[in-house]
Amino acid sequence: MVGMVTAFSRVAEPESQCIARALRRRDSEFIGRMVSRYHYRLLRYLVYWTSRREQAEDLVQETWLRVLEHAGQYNGRLRFEPWLFSIARNLAIDHLRKQQTARARHRMCREDEAGLNLPAPDFESPFFAAARSEDAKRIAAALGALEPIYREALLLRFQEELSLAEIAQVAGAPISTVSSRIHRGLSMLEASLGGGADAA
């Protein structure tokens, strides 16, 4: 934890100060530009969490509304992305919990099963839809099988290029945990590409 705090206390770019000021002032023009600028990255992050495109799209909007609500908590001393992703993460986790509760209730009320008509798990579709090569298709299958926390760690490290300290901030976990999640996720991806023989 001490390592996390030290890593977070470093000085960030002045852009984060502009964002903090715009959020506090409710500058709709600036906020609108930010929504547009971060839309793809936020959507991709939420797809990695939820494995469902439609839910991710809904959560993108909820994330921004929550950003507005909690604007006072962002002081601009750290980068904006980890703060944004941590809000999205909390919403995604709440959403997944609600889904799990609904599924559990669904299982308990067998007589009403037909009426509830909950969608079947569809973990692979968004990744397969986005896969552009054979390697990517194999990775898509591996990603679909990975738990969201490993997918999240891989995305934040290799696509968002956040530092381990920033990922730890988003995930609310120690750096060592984040590091082992990335190692494990990477090993699983390597196994999917190399048929498992080369995985550690």
What are the residues binding other proteins (CB under 8 A)?
25-29, 31-32, 35-36, 39-40, 43-44, 47, 53, 57, 60-62, 64-66, 68-69, 126-127, 129-133, 135-136, 138-140, 154-155, 157-159, 164, 179, 182-183, 186-187, 189-190, 192-194, 198, 200
- Choose between 62 and 148: whose C-beta lies nearer to other proteins: 62
113 vs 135 by CB, closer to other proteins: 135
Our CB check for other proteins shows the closer of 2 and 114 to be 2
For residue 73, the SS3 value is: helix
With vertex at residue 77, the alpha carbon angle to CA 66 and CA 30, rounded to the nearest 5 degrees, is 50
**Measured distance CA(173)–CA(117) in Å, rounded:** 36
Distance in angstroms (rounded) separating the CA atoms of residues 13 and 25: 20
Least distance CB 107 / other proteins (angstroms): 30
Q: Which residue has the tokens 């797809």?
A: 47
Residue 46 has phi, psi (to 5 degrees) of -70, -30
- Smallest separation (angstroms) from other proteins to the CB of 75: 18
